[in-house]
Amino acid sequence: MPGLAAPAWAAPAPTDAPAQSRAQADPDLVLDRPGESVVTRREVTPIAPGLTMTSFDRLGGPGWIRGKVLVADLDTEGLSVDYLSSGKVTTRQSVTDMARGAGAVAAINGDYFDMNASEAPLGVGVSRKDGLVQAPVEGWNQAVTVGTDGLARMAQVFLEGHASLPGGRELTLNGVNTYGLPADGVGVFTPAWGDATRGNVANGSAEVAEVELRDGRVTAVRDTLGAAVPEGATVLVGREAGARALRDLRPGDRVSVGYRPRASFGEVAVAVGGYQVLVADGVAQRSGENDGNELNARTAVGFSADNRRMYLVTVDGRQADSPGISLPDLAVLMRDMGAHNALNMDGGGSAAMAARLPGTERAGTVSSPSDNGGERAVANGLGLFSTPGSGQAKGFRLRPAPAVDTAARLFPGLHRTVRALPHDEAYGAVTATVPATAWSTATGATASVEGRGPDAVVTGRAPGAAEVAVTATGAAKAVLPLTVLGPAVRVSAGSAPIALEGAGATARLTVTGYDALGHTAPVEAADVKVAGGEGVVEAGAAPDGTIALKALADGRSATLKLTVGTLESAVAVTVGMTEKPFADFSDAAAWKSGNDRAPGGSTAPAPGPDGTHGLRLAYDFTHSTGTRGQYAIAPEGIVLPGQPRSITMWIEGDGNGAWPRVQYRTAAGVTANLDAPMVTWTGWRKVEFPVPAGVQYPLTFQRFRLMETSAARSYTGALTLADLRVKVAPDVELPVQPKVTDPVVLTHGTVDGRPLRVAVMSDAQFIARSPDSDIVQAARRTLRDIAAAKPELLVIDGDFVDEAAPADFALARTLLDEFDQLTGHTVPWHYVPGNHEVMGPGTIDNFKAAFGDTTQVFDVKGTRFVTLNSSLGTLRGSGFDQIATLRTALDGAAQDPSVTGLLLFEHHPTRDPLPDQGSQLGDRKEAALVEQWLADFRTKGKSAAMVTGHVGAFHAQSIDGVPHLINGNSGKGPAAEPDRGGFTGWTMLGVNPAAGRVTDPYATADDTSAWLRAEVRARADTVDLQAPTALGLLETAPVHATFTQDGERTVPVAWPVTAQWGGTAVHIGTAASAPRTAVAAYDPATATLTGLRPGSGTLSVTVGGVKAEQPLTVGALPACTTTVRGRHSSLAVTSGVTCLQGATVDGPVLVQPGASLVALDSTLSGPLSARGANTLVLSDTTVNGPVAVSGTTGTTAILRATVSGPLHLALNKGATLLAGTTVRGPLDCSGNTPAPVNGGLANTVSGPKGGQCAKL
């Protein structure tokens, strides 16, 4: 395995990373509700005997949740539950640290606590070792409990305790290490209290007293409350009446104290406080109107009806891919999974779970805490404990590297490292010597494996399913399923430069490979050769399979070349970052105000922070419900210095929640925007606008934009801007990212003749206020072109209108009525809503009133069509029922024998190919789900594709075997460079339902082109063809064609434009596939024209019905002095130029010195001998005998000929061409100057090849 070696400084791979392979899910654990939510990921990991952890992702109406469920079967021998804490009531500790300190195999956080004060818990704490650690504050009695009978319950726990004073008096205790006492109450404090002051336990009462006890006698009476309780001492604290009773005591008085937790079920062995009851006797409880309805991270504990099973749950929150869950929904989740009773614990930033994964020594954090700093220190928790195992290896957990979702994939010829982590029968770490391990595979045709000890290296051999297994003496066998993809066709490390902060800084880099169908897999560092970066950055293989980078010098940059076999990629690396100002608003008066749908705004000079200049931007978002914007426009475009990675500025916020954006222009002339968080703050804050990777520098700042997109919000306000800067790294030559094309889009040809043709248009974006605008005319032209093409149906894939006013939809209906008249109502159309179908009103109501349903499922010619509504930027935003519709449609299509493929239409793509990626599904987890569902559908044996719009560019890419097509704008101007799909037009899909069934989803031979091809029909005003007028034989030349649009846009005729290439005597395709009659071949895939035989022809190209052509002459030869046709017995060429045209010579052919022979489409019996000839050409000619050509002073060309006998070429002085020829005998070439060439047209030789022709 050639590649990178591990440097000494590379950090070791973490030992507690999640496993790639999991056990089967517990079928009894219900995590979703049909029609309301769907579980999209479910993995079950054994933690200990009787204890499993289920990790899941769920999508429902309120959004995503990501959670973990520990299921503990308490009847399991050796499994127990106990209270966790730091050891001090007022000292917080993270759940992971508590679990590790106590030796728990799993744990969750527990009770709410007195945050930022005493830090003590609010509820009860009972441990098996220490008994009652603290009693609950008044009214906080709900708890998770385990009784001495071993059963777990939700119960109310109370304090039962008293202090016996001299004279027979008794005081009822109101707290034990409790941070708050009721009026007139008395509490007891032990050394377990910690270092926090007890000064606040009286809740502000001025009448307090405390008594310190040792060995049952009073040692001190005080009127002030202390903090830490000395070891061996107990302190009684009283307030009001309680304080007066304690003041009566004197040093030496005997006082006895007794207390215990009390619960209705009996003796309490373990307890930790909670709060809201979620489930009671099998009924999910609803919280109060304003209690727990917000989405947040949560922790809960549930109990089965027989109290023998516990469900310990955490749901991540306050994160983009898991905002959290409300208490009512958490109650339903707990009930559905099997909890008969359940209690909510502390949540938010406190919610956390830790677990010891199989084969590891201690617990690690397995949830994703929501606090920015990571896992929060909390007051207490609940731990699960398991009797240690034997330490002998009884099983393995297999993990492929690197630790990414696609690590269980690999490419033929490349490798995947698999590590076997042994565990004992209790799933704990193996402490004894691991027996000798043996690695094997039962799928040797697809993969092989070599390994000793814990690591193995798998080598991909051929596409298909594979598995590797490891066994050891006395240990169970472990198997890891793998998938070998098709051969890698490209590799990439991403387009973003890697910015290292300074010398010594490190980073990890993963190279991703792609097969021809868009399947991806990580490429291990050992398979990557890295060149470049000398003196700037050091690269080496990290233990986890990634490439480890380390900066060597500040203020420098480099480009690393990455090579995987014959494939190459590159990535830029910079070291260090500086800020440079570009606008200080000393010229604030020269900035201009602008708006869209927001009149009344203004700009004016204003003070900035710390005495700097600023610019005040006032806005009024009350005049429209459409998307509104107020702008601060720079006096002239400001060219930004260097290669900015971000723009920063100070913003004095007003808290209204408007959306700040920066509009800029790239060097390619594309206008785009940078985004920052909504302005929800007041006062000054430094705000950063990241610059996306892949933009073309330099950038020009144009304006600051303040936006409001919600129709439901109406407000006015003002911001002040100051100190605009760029963050720049050292300049670096950014690697040119190759243009990735997908063959689903034809570069030449048409889909005419396919059984099902579907026209797609989108993004016209017209308004009724301008019914005769250029955009309306462009939409009409598109509809006329589609009507003329006579497809089976038309899909309008969103943004047909711009502002969604009733008048806009009326105009849309008029245009579609015109279309129906053109087609005679023979072409049905389906209108899919986009974001502009809700732009003005903010709801879909106007669209529905005009056009009806927003979601459709129907079949045409064996193809299932699904149209969905992404008008609000996500599918879920328009109702979870859409997710259910898609799932049902996929499942139904997979089972329906009459359906061979599925086409999904929605407006927003899952991925925006443009650098700013601003036009894609806003929920990235939802986008990944759609991609996964479509890919899964294909693995079940049927084809699928997704068709979208919105981006303002035509594009296509296959993702896991599924084509994702983006239709560009059909009216409005494009948003991308012309060579990146930035033109206007429409798409015609050509479907062959008979080819929709997929036999092998990973075999690249089973591609998608037989089922689906797309013809991108650009709108052309003029077409220009630049091609050579003359070519030599086998000479190649580039061809460049362009077309114009709107008098301002010049677009290259190249992917994703579909053109119709043609002409006369010119073959369209590869030179090798050209017929004998073609004088030249034009290959649209390479834009290369090749001369093949003497003659004349014409090359033409048609785009959007507009045609251009270019005459062409190939192989200008000496004029014929003698022309021979018909049949002859022999031929001697003594002088001049003899041309054979379709002639037959039954005897020998002799060409004497100085003479020339040009034979076209002729048959010679042979032998043929030419010595010292001027020119010799055999084109599409058969010689049934030996051929010997030597000493030719001009051109020797044997092109697409057949020679039945030896062929000898020697000492020829001019160009010697031997191409596309079949030689049935020996081939020998020597002394030719220059050496013979084949022009890329391989020869077929049945005999030995020697000399200069050995490789022809």
Residues 833 and 957 in one domain: yes
What is the pLDDT at residue 1? Answer: 37
Q: What is the pLDDT of residue 1006?
A: 58
Q: List, for residues 14-60, the tens digit of each pLDDT value.
A: 333 333 323 333 557 999 988 899 999 999 999 999 999 999 999 99
Tens of pLDDT, residues 1170-1208: 999 999 999 999 999 999 999 999 999 999 999 999 999
- Which tokens sit at 608? 């900035």
Query: Given 464, 484, 504, which residue is the final one in a domain?
Result: 484
- Percentage of residues in the chain with pLDDT exceeding 70? 97
The domain spanning residue 939 has which CATH number?
Answer: 3.60.21.10
Q: Are strands 856-860 and 863-867 parallel, antiparallel or unpaired?
A: antiparallel
Mean pLDDT of 382-406: 93
Same domain for 273 and 247: no
d(CA 620, CA 713): 11
Q: Which of 449, 484, 519 is the last residue of a domain?
A: 484
**Contacts of residue 230, Cβ cutoff 8 Å, sequence gap at least 6:** 191, 212
Q: Is 1104 left (phi over 0), alpha (psi -120 to 50) or beta?
A: left
Q: What is the mean pLDDT of residues 976-998?
A: 96
Token pair listed for 1066? 């010119």
Confidence check: pLDDT of 4 > 60: no
- pLDDT at residue 291 greater than cutoff 90: no
Split at pLDDT 50, 70, 90, the class of 935 is: very high
Place of tokens 């169908």: 517
Specify the pLDDT at position 290: 59
Nearest-angstrom CA–CA distance, 716 and 31 = 44
Of 974, 989, 1018, the one marking the end of a domain is 1018
Tens-digit pLDDT profile for residues 189-200: 999 999 999 999
Query: Considering the domain boundaries, does residue 742 fall inside one?
Result: no
Strand partners, 1223: 1203, 1245
pLDDT tens track for 514-526: 999 999 999 999 9
For residue 17, the Cα-to-chain-centroid distance in whole angstroms is 20
246 within a domain of the structure (yes/no) = yes
Give the pair of three-digit tokens for residue 265: 């079920």
Classify residue 12: in a domain, yes or no.
no
Write down the pLDDT at residue 596: 93
Q: Tell me if residue 1029 falls in helix, strand or coil.
A: coil
Instruction: Give the C-alpha separation, 232 to 229, whole Å.
Output: 8
Whether the per-residue pLDDT at 232 is higher than 80: the answer is yes
The predicted structure's pLDDT at residue 19: 34
Residues 802 and 907 in one domain: yes
Give me the sheet containing 1022-1026, strands edge to edge.
Answer: 1022-1026, 1040-1045, 1049-1052
Query: What Rg do the C-alpha atoms of the chain give, in angstroms?
Result: 39
β-pair type (628-639, 529-531): unpaired
The residue with tokens 């008395």 is: 186
Looking at the structure, tell me whether residues 914 and 1008 fall in a common domain.
Answer: yes
Query: For the chain, what is the domain count?
Result: 8
DSSP-assigned letters across all residues of 665-696: E-TTS-EEEEE---B--EEEEEEEEEPPTT--
Is the pLDDT score of 288 beyond 80? Answer: no
Q: Are residues 695 and 782 in the same domain?
A: no
Q: Based on the domain organization, do 853 and 833 belong to the same domain?
A: yes
CB 1206 within 8 A of CB 1224: no
Give me the mean pLDDT over the 416-420 stretch: 94
Query: Which of 351-365, 435-449, 743-757, 845-859 has the least mean pLDDT?
Result: 435-449
Q: State the Cα–Cα distance between residues 144 and 270, nearest whole angstrom.
A: 8
Show the tokens assigned to 882.
């859409």
pLDDT at 1194: 93
Residue 626 has pLDDT above 90, yes or no: no
CA distance 300 to 297: 10
- The helix-helix angle for 924-939 and 881-895 (nearest 10°) equals 10
Q: What is the mean pLDDT of residues 790-805?
A: 97
**Structural domain contains residue 744:** no
Are 841 and 984 found together in one domain?
yes
Domain contains 749: no
Distance from C-alpha of 922 to C-alpha of 906, rounded to nearest angstrom: 13
Q: What is the mean pLDDT of residues 309-317?
A: 97
The angle subtended at Cα 430 by Cα 425 and Cα 436, nearest 5°, is 100
pLDDT band at residue 289, thresholds of 50, 70 and 90?
low
- State the Cα–Cα distance between residues 1187 and 1165, nearest whole angstrom: 11
Q: Per-residue pLDDT averaged across 717-738, rounded?
A: 92
Q: Which domain holds residue 1223?
A: 1122-1251
pLDDT given at position 14: 33
Mean of pLDDT over the chain:
93
pLDDT value of position 378: 97
Q: What is the mean pLDDT of residues 1057-1069?
A: 97
> Across the chain, which distance is largest between two alpha carbons, in Å?
147
Q: Which CATH number do you get for residue 194?
A: 2.60.120
Mean pLDDT of 946-965: 97
Q: Give domain status of residue 590, yes or no.
A: yes
Q: Which domain CATH number covers 1096?
A: 2.60.40
Residue 192 lies in a domain: yes
| pLDDT tens profile 651-707 | 999 999 999 999 999 988 888 899 999 999 999 999 999 998 878 899 999 999 999
**What confidence category does residue 748 fall into, taking pLDDT thresholds of 50, 70 and 90?**
very high
User: What is the per-residue pLDDT across 136-155, written as a single tens digit (0 to 9) for each?
Assistant: 999 999 999 999 999 999 99
pTM for the whole structure: 0.87
Nearest to 483 by CA among 540, 521, 539: 521
pLDDT at 1000: 86
Judge whether 847 and 907 are in contact, CB under 8 Å: no
Question: In the numeric block, which tokens belong to residue 590?
Answer: 């020269």
Residue 23: per-residue pLDDT: 35
What distance in Å separates the CA atoms of residue 915 and residue 696, rounded to the nearest whole number?
Answer: 9
Query: Could you tell me if 870 and 778 lie in one domain?
Result: yes
Residue 1051 pLDDT exceeds 60: yes
Residues 277, 150, single domain; the answer is: yes
Q: What pLDDT score does 26 carry?
A: 55
pLDDT attached to residue 1117: 81
**The pLDDT of residue 330 is above 90:** yes
Nearest CA to 225 among 164, 181, 161?
Answer: 181
Say yes or no: 777 and 904 in one domain: yes
Q: In 521-619, where does DSSP find H-type helix?
A: none
pLDDT in tens, 1094-1146: 999 999 999 999 999 999 999 888 899 999 999 999 999 999 999 999 999 99
Q: What percent of the chain has pLDDT over 90?
A: 87
Contact of 541 with 10, CB cutoff 8 Å: yes
Do residue 688 and residue 612 come from a single domain? yes
Helix 806-823 / helix 774-789 crossing angle, nearest 10 deg:
30
How many CA within 13 A on the CB side of residue 58?
28
Residues 1094 and 1192 in one domain: no
User: Which pLDDT band holds residue 119 (cuts at 50, 70, 90)?
Assistant: very high
C-alpha–C-alpha distance, residues 270 and 143, integer Å: 10
- Does 219 fall in a domain? yes
CATH classification at residue 412:
2.60.40.1080
Q: How many residues does the chain have?
A: 1256
Q: What is the pLDDT of residue 16?
A: 34
Residue 228: closest CA among 178, 188, 192: 192
